[in-house]
């Protein structure tokens, strides 16, 4: 069954010119993904593996130096798949915030520090909702906050009067004002303490339940994926190396990289020493040949150095890209 977002063979690279020489950062390198409807879907991986770039492409926001080399990002809209990457500016604007919404990294800092929050909310609504006056729009915003269990009085505050966690919840509430079907959230809990993190995660859960929409949650924090996502993808050096139901990935991780990510998590009562992933992530300017994890993989074989394996089925939904888990088809 197809998802609400289908990503096919996506290649988006940063093309940089330095001292007259062209350099290409292969940030999203041949990614195919199917993101299901009505769930919180996670994308995990170490810093620099391409998670943010993938979200930008999902938001059809590919601006220089980022360039699209190949592939599609198709959204299921009213029964038809529409490739968001081929839409013109006006069509993209129509899609954004009403159908797809984006919570960028550091979104709690999007508010203008010298204006009350209601000004930002009003600006946002005025540019997206036609035929309603300011007072009506403000009451829409108040009602939305109330529905999410947040006090509407917050709109009368300046950003600096709120904690970081509250500002993040207000930013998330803003991005969901027009009830989008797909919400792309980039590290929404990073830089928050655990109590504030919990409140943000609970808000996302509540919104997802209420709207029955899809959240795509990017975070390097595997604990958060275990806590909140239904299914997930593991990204390494611009490629997807494992996908599946979160519970299956945690109980039976197949890619040696995923095994390292999960085995390094602390568990209450477990005093054994934890092994982190050996070595450092590769440069995406010149990623390793074959499976990009091979220089760090304890189980590397000759084949791993030559050719990238495709994602294969372990179970119906659990798929892994690893030569250890399949017979080579060469």
Ligand X SMILES: Nc1ncnc2c1ncn2[C@@H]1O[C@H](COP(=O)(O)OP(=O)(O)OP(=O)(O)O)[C@@H](O)[C@H]1O
Report the interface residues with ligand X, using CB under 6 A. Answer: 14, 16, 25, 27, 45, 47-53, 65, 220, 284
- Rounded to the nearest whole angstrom, what is the least distance from the CB of residue 54 to ligand X in the complex? 7
Residue 12 sits at φ, ψ, to 5 deg, of -130, 120
Q: What is the secondary structure of 243-270 as a DSSP string?
A: EEEHHHHHHS--SHHHHHHHHTS--TT-
> Looking at beta carbons only, is 104 or 159 nearer to ligand X?
104
Q: Which is nearer to ligand X, 16 or 265 (CB)?
A: 16
Would you say 254 and 291 are in contact if contact means Cβ atoms under 8 Å apart?
no
**Least gap, CB of 239 to ligand X (angstroms):** 12
**Cα dihedral 253/254/257/262 (nearest 10):** 10
- Please work out, in degrees rounded to the nearest 5, the angle formed at the alpha carbon of residue 235 by the alpha carbons of 52 and 312: 140
Nearest to 323 by CA among 315, 188, 305: 305
Residue 31 or 171 with smaller CB distance to ligand X: 31
* Least gap, CB of 23 to ligand X (angstroms): 9
**Beta strands 40-44 and 231-236, pairing class:** parallel
Shortest distance (Å) from residue 205 CB to ligand X: 22
CA pair distance 281, 81, nearest whole angstrom: 35
Q: What DSSP line would sit under 273-310, residue for residue?
A: PPPPPSS-PPPTTSPPSSSTTGGG-TT--HHHHH-PPP
- CB-wise, 65 or 134, nearer to ligand X? 65
The whole-angstrom separation of Cα 203 and Cα 151 is 13
In terms of CB distance, is 67 or 112 closer to ligand X?
Answer: 67
* Of 166 and 261, CB closest to ligand X: 261
Least gap, CB of 153 to ligand X (angstroms)? 34
- Look at the chain and count its residues: 330
Residues 139, 146: contact at Cβ < 8 Å? no
Closest to ligand X by CB, 173 vs 243, is 243
Query: Can you tell me which residue has the tokens 């303490």?
Result: 193
| Closer residue to ligand X, CB minimum distance, 50 or 244 | 50
CB of 229 to ligand X, least distance (A): 16
B/e letters for 123-160, b = 16+ CB within 10 Å, e = fewer, are ebbeeeeeeeeeeebbebbbebbeebebeeebbebebe
CB of 10 to ligand X, least distance (A): 13
> What is the closest distance, in whole angstroms, from the C-beta atom of residue 42 to ligand X in the complex?
13
Nearest-5° angle of CA 132, CA 134, CA 136? 60
């Amino acid at each position: 069954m197809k998802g609400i977002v289908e990503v096919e063979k996506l290649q988006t690279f940063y093309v940089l010119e330095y001292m007259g020489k062209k350099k290409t950062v292969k940030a999203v390198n041949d990614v195919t993904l199917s993101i299901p409807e009505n769930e919180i879907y996670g994308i995990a991986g170490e810093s620099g593996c391409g998670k943010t770039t993938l979200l930008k492409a999902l938001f059809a926001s590919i601006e220089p130096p980022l360039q699209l080399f190949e592939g599609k990002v198709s959204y299921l809209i009213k029964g038809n798949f529409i490739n968001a990457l081929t839409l013109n500016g006006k069509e993209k604007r129509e899609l954004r915030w009403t159908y797809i919404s984006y919570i960028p990294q550091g979104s709690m800092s999007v508010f203008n520090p010298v204006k009350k929050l209601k000004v930002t909310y009003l600006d946002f609504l005025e540019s997206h909702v036609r035929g309603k006056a300011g007072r009506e729009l403000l009451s829409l915003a108040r009602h939305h906050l109330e529905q999410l269990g947040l006090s509407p009085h917050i709109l009368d505050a300046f950003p600096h009067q709120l904690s970081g966690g509250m500002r993040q919840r207000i930013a998330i509430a803003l991005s969901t004002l027009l009830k989008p079907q797909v919400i792309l959230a980039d590290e929404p809990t990073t830089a928050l303490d655990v109590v504030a993190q919990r409140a943000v995660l609970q808000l996302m859960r509540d919104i997802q339940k209420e709207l029955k929409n899809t959240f795509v949650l990017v975070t390097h924090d595997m604990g958060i994926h275990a806590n909140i996502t239904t299914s997930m993808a593991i990204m390494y050096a611009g490629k997807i190396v494992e996908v599946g139901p979160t519970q299956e990935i945690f109980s039976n991780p197949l890619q040696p990289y995923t095994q390292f990510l999960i085995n390094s998590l602390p568990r209450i009562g477990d005093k054994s020493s934890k092994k982190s992933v050996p070595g450092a992530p590769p440069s995406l300017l010149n990623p390793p040949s074959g499976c990009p994890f091979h220089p760090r993989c304890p189980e590397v074989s000759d084949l791993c150095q030559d050719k990238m394996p495709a994602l294969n089925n372990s179970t119906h939904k659990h798929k892994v890209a690893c030569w250890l888990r399949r017979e080579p088809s060469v």
